[in-house]
């Protein structure tokens, strides 16, 4: 059940509704929707459900009390035109400003990470991505520096004043990763790891939820619902490519599916042009296309020396390639009514 309280609801009115739900034997999950309080609880008995909803609707401060009309009711818009803005550190994603999160696939060393992040920060990047825990198809592949990687990430990020995004793979690691990172990432392979989704839903951290390569849009949104029903609505959806019959690219970037997810939810939607294409010569074109499709941001792999990257070098932009991409991103963002004021290429890149 979804109970939305008015922005004008007093603390005592909110608490009265919470106590009313608890009186029925339920423990509501609390979330915030802008300046509104949202309470979520489950009631399997239909007659009890109808009775409780009727009583709650009549309580002071209540805007609506409804049964879910859609399978992903919590992440869906609660009123026409609703968009949610999610903060990662000091940046907001989902508002007018288009968000670019960039960085290497993996944390390899403090020196390498500092070289990349220092130059990204100079270009205006406010949030960086880098993996300390790396899932690998092969058990012999590089799987990250783990806790040491987290320590390096936090140290370098603090030095250059940027927010951090990193992946968490295991329920047991959520508290540790949350201690070091500003935003938790659920990778494509874990999109339907339901216990992990529930655990990040209990954290006071934003979550980037990547779409699985074989997932339909509704399955992706239901995965987001798992997070939201635990009380965490600070979710960013990320389209990172789906598996099709095409073999020329690593995956197929489904911008139509990403745009649909944005229509069906209140959540910001990002695109990952690096993993979706697997080719650095396609990353720029797909990045620009994502802006034009109305998405809210990008998650791009950038490395100071892509040829020496431990993982995914073929899909990783050099710093020079990333800088050259800023100008077309800005132009298209302006054309669709968004801004990209935070990024500022050097004069040489701006005129190339």
pLDDT tens-place string over residues 33-73 = 667 788 888 777 778 888 998 999 999 999 988 887 778 88
- Count of Cβ atoms closer than 10 Å to residue 26 Cβ: 17
Q: What is the DSSP letter of 137?
A: S
Q: What is the CATH number of domain 2-66?
A: 3.30.70.260
Q: Are 97 and 339 in contact (CB under 8 A)?
A: yes
- Axis crossing angle, helix 110-122 with helix 147-160, rounded to the nearest 10: 30
Q: What is the mean pLDDT of residues 81-89?
A: 92
Q: What is the pLDDT of residue 33?
A: 66
Nearest to 312 by CA among 345, 257, 272, 343: 272
Mean model confidence pLDDT for the chain: 92
Task: Give the pLDDT of residue 223.
Answer: 98
pLDDT at 66: 85
Q: Which of 134-138, 140-144, 181-185 has the highest mean pLDDT?
A: 181-185
User: Domain residues of the chain, as ranges?
Assistant: 2-66, 86-350
Q: Which residue has the tokens 């951090």?
A: 164
Q: Is the pLDDT of residue 166 over 60?
A: yes
- Going by the DSSP 8-state scheme, the letter that residue 309 receives in this structure is -
Residue pair 169/135 in contact (Cβ under 8 Å)? The answer is yes
Q: What is the pLDDT of residues 295-351, one digit of tens each?
A: 999 999 999 999 888 888 899 999 999 999 999 999 999 999 999 999 998 755 544
| % of the chain with per-residue pLDDT over 90 | 75
Which pLDDT score, from 0 to 100, does residue 156 have?
98
Predicted confidence at residue 34, as pLDDT, reads 67
Map 211-273 to HEC letters: CCCCCCHHHHHHHHHHHHCCCCCCEEEEECCECCCCCCCCCECCHHHHHHHHHHCCCCEEECH
- Is 123's pLDDT higher than 80? yes
Over the stretch 88-105, which tens digit does the pLDDT of each residue have? 998 999 999 999 999 999
Phi and psi at residue 99, to the nearest 5°: -105, 135
pLDDT of residue 118 exceeding 90, the answer is: yes
Residue 35: per-residue pLDDT? 76
| Helix spans in the chain (H) | 11-23, 46-57, 110-122, 147-160, 174-180, 194-201, 217-228, 255-264, 273-277, 280-292, 319-335, 347-350
Find all residues with CB under 8 Å of 117, minimum gap 6, and list them: 103, 128, 156, 157, 160, 162
Angle 110-122/319-335 helices, nearest 10 degrees?
40
What is the reported pLDDT for 73? 81
Which token pair is 126?
A: 């406010």
Using alpha carbons, select from 255, 231, 251, 249 the residue that is nearest to residue 241: 251
Q: Under CATH, which architecture does the 86-350 domain have?
A: Alpha-Beta Barrel (3.20)
The sign one gets for the Cα dihedral 246, 144, 180, 123 is: negative
Q: Work out the average pLDDT over 238-260.
A: 97
pLDDT at 92: 94
Q: By 3-state DSSP, what share of the chain in percent is helix, strand and coil, each rounded to 5?
A: 40, 20, 40
Residue 80 confidence (pLDDT): 76
Q: Residue 65: helix, strand or coil by DSSP?
A: strand
From first CA to last CA, the distance across the chain in angstroms is 55
Instruction: Check residue 337 and give its pLDDT.
Output: 95
The per-residue pLDDT for 349 is: 53
């Amino acid at each position: 059940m979804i109970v939305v309280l008015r922005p004008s609801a007093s603390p005592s009115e909110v608490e009265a509704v919470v106590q009313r739900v608890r009186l029925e034997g339920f423990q509501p999950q609390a979330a915030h929707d802008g300046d509104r309080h949202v309470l979520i609880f489950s009631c399997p008995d239909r007659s009890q459900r109808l009775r409780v909803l009727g009583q709650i609707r009549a309580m002071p401060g209540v805007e609506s009390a409804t049964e879910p009309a859609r399978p992903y009711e919590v992440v869906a818009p609660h009123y026409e035109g609703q968009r949610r803005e999610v903060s990662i550190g000091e940046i907001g994603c989902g508002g007018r400003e288009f968000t670019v999160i960039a960085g290497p696939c993996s944390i390899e060393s403090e020196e390498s990470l500092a070289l990349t992040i220092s130059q990204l920060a100079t270009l205006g990047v406010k949030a960086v991505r880098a993996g300390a825990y790396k899932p690998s198809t092969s058990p012999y592949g590089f799987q990250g520096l783990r806790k040491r990687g987290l320590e390096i990430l936090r140290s370098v990020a603090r030095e250059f004043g940027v927010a951090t995004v990193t992946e968490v793979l295991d329920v047991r690691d959520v508290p540790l990763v949350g201690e070091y990172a500003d935003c938790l990432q659920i990778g494509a392979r874990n999109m339907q790891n339901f216990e992990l989704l529930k655990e990040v839903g209990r954290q006071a951290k934003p979550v980037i939820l990547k779409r699985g390569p074989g997932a339909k849009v509704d399955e992706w949104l239901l995965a987001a619902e798992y997070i939201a029903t635990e009380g965490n609505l600070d979710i960013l959806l990320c389209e990172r490519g789906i598996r099709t019959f095409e073999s020329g690219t690593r995956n197929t970037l489904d911008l139509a599916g990403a745009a649909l997810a944005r229509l069906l939810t209140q959540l910001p939607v990002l695109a990952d042009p690096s993993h979706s294409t697997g080719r650095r010569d396609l990353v720029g074109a797909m990045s620009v296309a994502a802006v034009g499709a109305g998405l809210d941001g990008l998650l791009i792999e950038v490395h100071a020396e892509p040829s020496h990257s431990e993982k995914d070098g073929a899909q990783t932009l050099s710093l020079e390639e990333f800088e050259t991409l800023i100008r077309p991103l800005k132009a298209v963002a302006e054309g669709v009514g968004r801004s990209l004021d935070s990024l500022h290429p050097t004069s040489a890149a701006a005129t190339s």
